[in-house]
Structures are given as C-alpha cells and as structure tokens.
Amino acid sequence: MSSRKKRSISDIIDAYFEDLERWAEQFEETLMERPSWNLKNCTIEPLREIMVTPTEVVVTVDLPYTEKNTVEVKPVSRTSLEISAKMKRKIRLDDLGVTHCKGEFQKFHCHMRIPVPVNMDKMDIHYKRGILEVHIPRKR
C-alpha cells in the first residue's frame, strides 16, 4: 500500500484559486498602465505594432511630424530594438488634452522586445509619410 495522502475537494479548490490569484497579479503587472511620456527627456512613445509572420517580423511605428533624416533605429540586443526620431515642432501636453501635468515633447522614443528569434543584421528599414516599417527576417 502506498502512503499517499488524499486531498480533500476544498484543498483542491483553495489551491486552484491561489494559482488563479497569482496568475492575475502577474498579468496585472505586465499590463499596468504607465505614462507614455517622459518629461525629463522630453520624449513621448509613438504608437507601434509588431507583426510576426512565418518568414519575418514587421515593426510598424507611427512617427508624425518627423523627418526621415532624424529617424534612428538601433538594435539594442538580439531581441530588442530602440527607435527614436526628432519632431519638426514641439508638442505640449495641453495639445493632447492633458491638463493635470505641464510639459512639452520634441522627440519620439520607444524600446521594444521582439518576441521571436530574428536576424538583426539583415534589418530592412522603410520610412514614408510619418510611418516607419522595419522588416527583420526570422532565424530558421
């Protein structure tokens, strides 16, 4: 005979809800809202999207009021990318409808993690009318 202890149904339910609560806390930490601007550096985060296809990863970034020669795309590591661009004119928080804070921005800046292994050396960058597209081939 084995000396395995049987768990009651209430113990199983308690363990389930503890796991569920732990998962909810981790999920909340990852999606916690934070400001999309940095007043110290006078930067604001642009809208961006990462699309993963079978052959490549396409990063699309909205950079209105910027010129092509000010856009910088730097691979920070094998799995992350940093994008920055200087604006043609300064934007104040009042212009965005934020009245409880004062400040202005003159640069876009974002740091993003690429979710799959990619080959950063073969990155292809396209910029047209304020939209930046970065095509990065996936590793096989």
Residue 31: inside a domain, yes or no?
A: no
Residue 55: inside a domain, yes or no?
A: yes
Cα separation, 72 vs 118, whole angstroms: 19
Cα separation, 132 vs 42, whole angstroms: 21
Domain holding 41, by residue range, is: 37-137
CATH of the domain at 99: 2.60.40.790
Mean pLDDT of 129-133: 95
Cα separation, 104 vs 87, whole angstroms: 11
Count of domains forming the chain: 1
Range list of β-strands (E), 76-122: 80-92, 104-113
Residue 71: inside a domain, yes or no?
A: yes
Q: Which residue has the higher pLDDT, 106 or 26?
A: 106
Furthest-apart CA pair in the chain: how many Å?
79
Mean pLDDT of 15-34: 77
pTM over 0.85: no
Query: How many alpha carbons fall within 13 Å on the CB side of residue 64?
Result: 4
Question: Mean pLDDT for the chain?
Answer: 88
